[in-house]
Structure 1
Amino acid sequence: MDAARTDQSQNEPCSFVIFGATGDLATHKLLPALFDLERVERLVDDLSFIALARRSWTTDDWLEHVRTLLKDKIEQSSIPQEVLNRFLARFRYLQADLNDTESYRTLAADLTACGSTGSRTVFYLAIRPADFVTVIKNLKAAGLNEPRGMNRVVIEKPFGEDLESAQVLNRVLHQNFDEEQIYRIDHFLGKETVQNLLVFRFANTIIEPLWNRNFIDHVQITVAESIGIGKRAGYYDRAGALRDMLQNHLMQLLTVVAMEPPPALEADALRDEKVKVLRSIRPIGKRAVHAHAVRAQYTHGSIDGQSVVGYQQEENIELGSITETFAAAKFYIDNWRWRGVPFYLRTGKRMPRQHSMIAIRFKHPPQQLFRETPLESIDPNWILLSIQPEESMHMEIHVKQPGLDMNTRVMQMNASFLKTDEQTLDAYETLLLDVIEGDRSLFIRFDEAEWAWRVIDPILKFWTVEREYIPTYPAGSWGPAEANRLFDSDDQIWRNEL
Structure 2
Amino acid sequence: MDRQTFVLFGASGDLSKRKIIPALYSLYRDNNMPDKFNIVGCARSDWSREEFQQFVLASLGEFSRHRIDEDRNISNFVDKLYYVPFDATNIQDYHVLGDLIQKLENEDNLPQNRMFYLAMAPEFFDVVAVNLKEAGLTNVTGWKRLIIEKPFGRNFDSASELNDRVSTAFDESEVFRIDHYLGKEMVQNIEVIRFANSIFEPLWNNRSISNIQITSSETVGVEERASYYESAGALRDMVQNHMLQMLMMIAMEPPSRLNTEAIRDEKVKVLRSLRKYSEDEILTNVVRGQYQGGKVAGKDVVGYLDEPGVAPASTTETFVAAKLFIDNFRWAGVPFYIRTGKRMQSKTTKIVVEFRSTPEKLFFNKDSNLSSNTLTIFVNPSQGMSLSINVEQEKSGVVEPNVIDFARETKNSPEAYERLIFDAMNNDSTFFTRWDEVSLAWKWIDPVSRSFANGHPMHSYESGTTGPAASDELLASDGFRWWN
- TM-score of the two chains, using structure 2 as the length reference: 0.95
Matched, 1:450 2:439: yes
Residues of 1 paired with 2:52 and 2:89: CA distance?
A: 22
Superposed CA offset, 1:40-93 (max 9, x none): 111112111001111111111111111222225679747633332121111001
Counterpart residue number, 1:164: 157
The answer as to 2:325 corresponding to 1:329 is no
In 1: Cα distance, 2:187 partner to 2:21 partner: 23
Offset at residue 404 of structure 1 (A): 6.1
Say if 2:352 is the partner of 1:363: no
Quote the sequence identity (%): 39
Q: Distance in 1 between matches of 2:245 and 2:66?
A: 34
- Counterpart residue type for residue 168 of structure 1: E
Deviation at 1:486, TM superposition (A): 2.1
2:376 alignment counterpart = 384
- Whole-Å separation in 1 of the counterparts to 2:407 and 2:65: 28
Deviations 1:360-392 (A, max 9, x none): 111111353336x54531111110000011101
List gaps (5 residues or longer) in structure 2. none
Does the Cα contact within 8 Å between 1:368 and 1:374 map onto a contact in 2?
yes
1:235-265 per-residue CA deviation (whole Å, 9 max, x = no partner) reads 1101000000011001000000000111122
**8 Å CA contact 2:22, 2:65 repeated in 1:** no
Between 1:247-256 and 1:159-168, the stretch displaced more is 159-168
Q: Partner residue of 2:460?
A: 472
Q: In the alignment, what sits opposite 2:407?
A: 416
**Structure 1 375/196 Cα, relative in aligned 2: closer, same or farther at 3 Å?**
farther
What residue identity is the alignment partner of 1:105? H
Residue 121 of structure 2 corresponds to: 128
Letter in 2 for 1:304: A
Amino acid in structure 1 at the alignment position of 2:402: M
Say whether residues 1:84 and 2:77 are aligned partners.
no
Alignment-mate amino acid for residue 107 of structure 1: L
Partner SS state of residue 247, structure 2: helix
Correspondence for 2:22: 32
Matched, 1:393 2:385: yes
How far apart are 1:108 and its partner, in Å?
1.0
| Partner secondary structure for residue 73 of structure 2 | helix
Residue in structure 1 matched with residue 483 of structure 2 by the alignment: 495
In structure 1, give the amino acid aligned to 2:480.
Answer: Q
What residue number does 1:195 align with? Answer: 188
* Preserved CA contact (<8 Å) 2:354 2:373: yes
| Separation in 2, partners of 1:149, 1:262 | 31
Q: Which amino acid aligns with 1:380?
A: S
| Structure 1 match to 2:202 | 209
Cα deviation for residue 397 of structure 1 reads 0.4
Shift in Å at residue 33 of structure 1?
1.0
**Aligned match of 2:49:** 59
Structure 1 stretch 141-150 or stretch 64-73: which is displaced more?
A: 141-150
Instruction: State how far apart, in whole Å, the 2-side matches of 1:304 and 1:263 are.
Output: 47
User: Aligned match of 1:49 in 39, 63, 69?
Assistant: 39
Segments of structure 1 that go 5 or more residues without pairing to the other structure are 1-8
Aligned-partner Cα distance in 2 for 1:490–1:141:
56
- 1:481 paired with 2:469, answer yes
Q: Give the match's secondary structure for 2:127.
A: helix
Q: Which amino acid aligns with 2:104?
A: C
What TM-score does the superposition give when structure 1 sets the normalisation length? 0.93
Q: Distance in 1 between matches of 2:64 and 2:370?
A: 51
Whole-Å separation in 1 of the counterparts to 2:211 and 2:79: 52
Tell me, yes or no, if the aligned pair for 1:123 and 1:153 is still in contact at 8 Å: yes
Q: Does the C-alpha gap of structure 1 residues 398 and 265 become closer, same or farther in structure 2, counting only changes over 3 Å?
A: same
Letter paired with 1:368: K
* Distance across 2 between alignment mates of 1:157 and 1:75: 24
Q: Distance in 1 between matches of 2:275 and 2:26?
A: 42
Matched residue SS, 1:263? coil
Deviation at 1:490, TM superposition (A): 5.2
Alpha-carbon deviation of 1:130? 2.0
Distance in 1 (alpha carbons) for counterparts of 2:124 and 2:51 = 25
**Relative to structure 1, is the Cα distance of residues 299 and 137 closer, same or farther in structure 2, using a 3 angstrom cutoff?**
same
Evaluate the alpha carbon distance shift between residue 404 and residue 154 of structure 1 in structure 2; reply closer, same or farther with a 3 A threshold.
Answer: closer
Q: Which amino acid aligns with 1:102?
A: Q
The aligned counterpart of 2:425 is: 436
The two structures, once aligned, show a CA RMSD in angstroms of 2.0
Whole-angstrom distance in 2 between the partners of 1:430 and 1:209: 31
Superposed CA offset, 1:88-133 (max 9, x none): 1110011111222121111111111112796111110001112212
Q: CA deviation at 1:482?
A: 1.0
Match of 1:105 among 88, 95, 106: 95
Name the structure 2 match of 1:150. 143
Q: What is the CA–CA distance in structure 2 between the aligned matches of 1:148 and 1:220, rounded to whole Å? A: 48
The change in CA–CA distance for 1:470 and 1:51 in structure 2 (over 3 A counts) is: same
- Take 2:64 and 2:264, find their aligned partners in 1: how far apart are those partners? 38
SS of residue matched to 2:83: strand
Asked if the contact 1:192/1:424 (under 8 Å) is kept, the reply is no
